[in-house]
Structure 1
Amino acid sequence: MTTPSATDTDAPARLINHLARAAHTAPETVTGLIAVIRADPRTFLPLIFSIARYGVGALDTAVAAVIKSLDLNYEELTKLDKMSPTNTDILPYTALAVAEQRCLRAESNMHLAVAQRALGVQLGHVGRHREALVATEQAVELSRQLAADDPDTHTPTLAMALQNLGTYLGPLGRHREALAATEQAVGHFRQLAADDPDTHTPTLAMALQNLGTHLGEVGRRREGLTFSQEAVDLYRRLVTDDPDTHTPDLAGAVYNLGIQLGRAGRRRDALAVSQEAVDLYRRLVADDPDAYTSRLAMALETLGIQLGEVGRRRDALAVSQEAVDLYRHLMADDPDTHTPNLANAVQNLGIQLGERGQRREALALFQEAVDLYRRLVADDPDTHTPRLASAVQNLGTQLGAVGRRREALAFSQEAVDLYRHLMADDPDTHTPRLASAVQNLGIRLGEVGQRREALAAFKEGTELFRQLVGNDPEVHTPGLAKALKNLGIHLAEAGRPQEALAAAEEAVELYTLLYTDLPEAYVDDLASSRWLRDGLNMGGGT
């Protein structure tokens, strides 16, 4: 590299770019880059953000440490925050350090409200969801106080904080609260966009996208689809005017719409939309692979699942394999961020292999996922134990499918034990998962001839879902219907036809209600529960 002259105005940028590239391929060179930044942070820190394409991993954590050690004021930190890459996986811990320092340097409630909201976003980005929720709740409270005194100035800040609040409440199982917060945000953004569409239409589109998701989580899927589609329509308009800025947002909204269509049973529509999301992310990756490869992998993972659901198993397998390959590459550079993603993608690939009859290959992948999650739990049990429980449960199912029933039972029991522990700390989030795991344990117990214990497990799962339906019928009625159908089958096998028939009839009633709202999603479940009921009637159950 030629040494730049003192008058070369591009010299700092070229120097940082050269050192950042070196640090990406040789982490030991990070020390030299950090020394350069420390020598003149006000020149070199902004350059890190502007050229960051190699900022995940050692460089990211090192720059974050530098920011924490410097005495930057709120305005300087705000400038860095505005330069932080958005909707990407670049420099997440650097962006978090900027957000933390902004909170510490805030000189007014207005500054603190904005900084707390940004802190919540960055905490969520690195997987610290409970801390993200706390920070966002504080941002909402401050913003409400400010908006009460000066609505014209502070309503946008309140609306953004409310939207983020919904984002962090949802994954913790607090779906009703998430919906309420997001509905408030949409109401504010609609008014803001009516007054100033150029400024607020993008944030309205994002809030509508989140609203569609939260409505789906509480069982109001038709309404949710309406808002998800509206978000996509708004982003299409925005992309027409400014494709560079809004294509990533459109890709995310299209991806979300594909998921919502799939959950509503509209599998063909979902597949077409999810294919569009993949196509959009491929274009983005062609221009900026470091920023968007992880999102392409995520979209491919969903597309693979949906291809399998419509019977295109060969295509599903190819797409799922591509997602796993991408995540393996990403994990090599940044294991902290991408190991959980790889573990999930590996399980989905295992499902596709299993459905093609390649059960031993599938089993190896499910075992790999469990091994990955065990390593993650060793470092961060609060974050990763729920995913380990799910992976262990899936491994038990696959072991049962290849006839290794005792091993399958052991893993299914471990999953139940993990969910019981999780439910003790957070019943809202984990009771539905425990209910499903208990039913899965019932299947495994039945396979080894422990029919009494199996029946007890199915009864427990059914009762858990009854409790959940009592609090939130729209969300949990599908789970109760499935539990009743399974209970009916096992009561019949236990020689208790009258009780079996009662369970089957209740399952038919519930599936009939669900079918009325979403026929494509529940047509198969309604048919199978009717078949069970009719068989029991013919067999003398009445």
Structure 2
Amino acid sequence: MSENHSHGADPADPADLAQGIAEAVALRNSCLSLLEKGEYDRAEPILAESVAMLRSLAALDPHAVGPQLGLGLKPLAALAVAGSNYGRARQLATEALPLLRQGVTERPSQYVASLSRVLWYLAESLCQVGEPEPALPLLDEAIELVDHPGFAPDPVVAALLSDVRLAVDLREVVLFRCLRTRLEALQRLHRTDEALIAALEAVDVGRLLAQRAPDRYSPLMARVLTRLALMHEQSDGPAAGAFRQESLPYWYAAAVHQRERLGPDPQAAPQMLRFALIKELMPFGLELVRLGRGPEALPSAREAVDLARALAAENPDKWQSVFETCQKHLAGLEHRPW
């Protein structure tokens, strides 16, 4: 924030308030390219500074600033979900929801899409910390918003996104993510029939997304197909095998894309990008094992161990458990009599 806002004129003055909001929004938008490149560690403090600016302004005029604060909290919640920090994601999304709901009542086209995504962030966080029941009404609300006439991506964000990203309908993205989380929540509640319906709906939408933008949506599609295979494992072996077989090219495409994002020197890439590759390599190997193709899983398991070893050396507190999991997986593969 400018020195004038920190120590001088009263930000509650409409002109001064508008300038303060503009500065905070400009700061937030300045790191969109970092988010696109996966440089989350660099983007997060910029986003946090923008939110701090908006919180200060909102304390003086909550009605005028609140919706913009909600928009500022959204990418921080997204980063928390991406980093599996579900407690923080829950806190940020919970703060953002009433602010974005206020925005929807005033300017739907600016806030509906963001509200739907924050509802998903909160639902996903609740589901991952073992609270699937309250996640379901949030997902229902998010899915209902997909059909809202005001649903549209932020024009500033859209202008800065890649052509591949723009080729995808944001409505389908939100619907797919919500159906995937709904599937998991229903499974945790042992509502198997409803979970199966959600899974099949997610696969229908996911196939379209992965066809249009395979780099981005292959990982999610692979996970839904794997979950479908597990759901059929006891009751319908052939169907389980078919879903598992269908998942393999998606897992492979996901790993290839993550390798490309690491660049020519993988060990110099941001830690979260390297972790993202590990998250594709491990389940890809597991699916190969389940299909009786264990030896083919060894290269991906070894690659995951190498990546995790380097991460653990850089930050043991954060990555040592990941390294140990990768090591255990590789040891299991190497000692099996294929």
TM-score (norm 1): 0.45
Letter matched to residue 486 of structure 1: C
Alignment gaps of 5+ in structure 1? 1-188, 497-542
Moved more, 392-401 or 402-411: 402-411
Residues paired across the two proteins, number: 297
Q: How does 1:69-468 map to 2 (within 5 A)?
A: 198=16, 201-206=20-25, 209=28, 224=44, 228-243=47-62, 245-259=64-78, 267-268=86-87, 270-329=89-148, 336-376=169-209, 381=212, 384-402=213-231, 403=233, 405-419=240-254, 422=257, 426-428=261-263, 433-463=276-306
Q: Does the 8 Å contact 2:78/2:89 carry over to 1?
A: yes
Please report how far the alpha carbon of residue 328 of structure 1 lies from its aligned counterpart in structure 2 after TM superposition: 4.0
**CA distances 1:469-501 after superposition (whole Å, capped 9, x unpaired):** 59x956xx74x85254133145246538xxxxx
Letter matched to residue 214 of structure 2: T
Whole-Å Cα distance in 2 between the matches of residues 419 and 269 of structure 1?
Answer: 27
Letter matched to residue 305 of structure 1: E
Please report how far the alpha carbon of residue 277 of structure 1 lies from its aligned counterpart in structure 2 after TM superposition: 1.0
Letter matched to residue 406 of structure 1: G
Q: Does the 8 Å contact 2:112/2:148 carry over to 1?
A: no
Alignment gaps of 5+ in structure 2? 10-15, 154-167, 234-238, 264-268
Moved more, 192-201 or 245-254: 192-201
Please report how far the alpha carbon of residue 269 of structure 1 lies from its aligned counterpart in structure 2 after TM superposition: 5.3
**% identical aligned pairs:** 21
Whole-Å Cα distance in 1 between the matches of residues 82 and 98 of structure 2?
Answer: 21
Q: Does the 8 Å contact 1:389/1:415 carry over to 2?
A: yes
Q: Does the 8 Å contact 1:320/1:345 carry over to 2?
A: yes
Q: Does the 8 Å contact 2:301/2:329 carry over to 1?
A: no
Letter matched to residue 289 of structure 2: G
**CA distances 1:396-435 after superposition (whole Å, capped 9, x unpaired):** 3202321154234313311133236546865549876554
Classify 1:460/1:410 alpha carbon distance in 2 versus 1 (closer, same or farther; 3 Å): farther
Letter matched to residue 117 of structure 2: M
- Aligned residue in 1 for 2:160: none
Please report how far the alpha carbon of residue 310 of structure 1 lies from its aligned counterpart in structure 2 after TM superposition: 3.2
Whole-Å Cα distance in 2 between the matches of residues 207 and 289 of structure 1?
Answer: 21
Please report how far the alpha carbon of residue 294 of structure 1 lies from its aligned counterpart in structure 2 after TM superposition: 1.7
Whole-Å Cα distance in 2 between the matches of residues 387 and 421 of structure 1?
Answer: 11
> What is the DSSP-based 3-state SS (H/G/I as helix, E as strand, rest coil) of the residue aligned with 2:241?
helix
Q: Does the 8 Å contact 1:208/1:228 carry over to 2?
A: yes
TM-score (norm 2): 0.68
Greater relative contact order (Cα < 8 A, sep 6+): 2
Q: Does the 8 Å contact 2:80/2:86 carry over to 1?
A: yes
Classify 1:316/1:435 alpha carbon distance in 2 versus 1 (closer, same or farther; 3 Å): same
Please report how far the alpha carbon of residue 218 of structure 1 lies from its aligned counterpart in structure 2 after TM superposition: 5.5
Please report how far the alpha carbon of residue 301 of structure 1 lies from its aligned counterpart in structure 2 after TM superposition: 0.7
> What is the DSSP-based 3-state SS (H/G/I as helix, E as strand, rest coil) of the residue aligned with 1:250?
helix
Classify 1:263/1:192 alpha carbon distance in 2 versus 1 (closer, same or farther; 3 Å): farther
Q: Does the 8 Å contact 1:446/1:454 carry over to 2?
A: yes
> What is the DSSP-based 3-state SS (H/G/I as helix, E as strand, rest coil) of the residue aligned with 1:357?
coil
Please report how far the alpha carbon of residue 268 of structure 1 lies from its aligned counterpart in structure 2 after TM superposition: 4.6
Which has the greater radius of gyration? 1
> What is the DSSP-based 3-state SS (H/G/I as helix, E as strand, rest coil) of the residue aligned with 1:311?
coil
**CA distances 1:25-48 after superposition (whole Å, capped 9, x unpaired):** xxxxxxxxxxxxxxxxxxxxxxxx
Q: Does the 8 Å contact 1:331/1:338 carry over to 2?
A: no
Whole-Å Cα distance in 1 between the matches of residues 64 and 118 of structure 2?
Answer: 20
Alpha-carbon RMSD = 4.3
Letter matched to residue 245 of structure 2: A
Moved more, 340-349 or 295-304: 340-349
Whole-Å Cα distance in 2 between the matches of residues 260 and 230 of structure 1?
Answer: 15
Letter matched to residue 146 of structure 2: Y
Letter matched to residue 353 of structure 1: L
Classify 1:297/1:354 alpha carbon distance in 2 versus 1 (closer, same or farther; 3 Å): same
Whole-Å Cα distance in 2 between the matches of residues 193 and 205 of structure 1?
Answer: 11
**CA distances 1:68-97 after superposition (whole Å, capped 9, x unpaired):** xxxxxxxxxxxxxxxxxxxxxxxxxxxxxx
Please report how far the alpha carbon of residue 362 of structure 1 lies from its aligned counterpart in structure 2 after TM superposition: 3.2
Whole-Å Cα distance in 2 between the matches of residues 282 and 398 of structure 1?
Answer: 33
Whole-Å Cα distance in 2 between the matches of residues 294 and 266 of structure 1?
Answer: 23
User: Does structure 1 residue 486 correspond to structure 2 residue 329?
Assistant: no
Q: Does the 8 Å contact 1:343/1:369 carry over to 2?
A: yes
Classify 1:330/1:450 alpha carbon distance in 2 versus 1 (closer, same or farther; 3 Å): farther
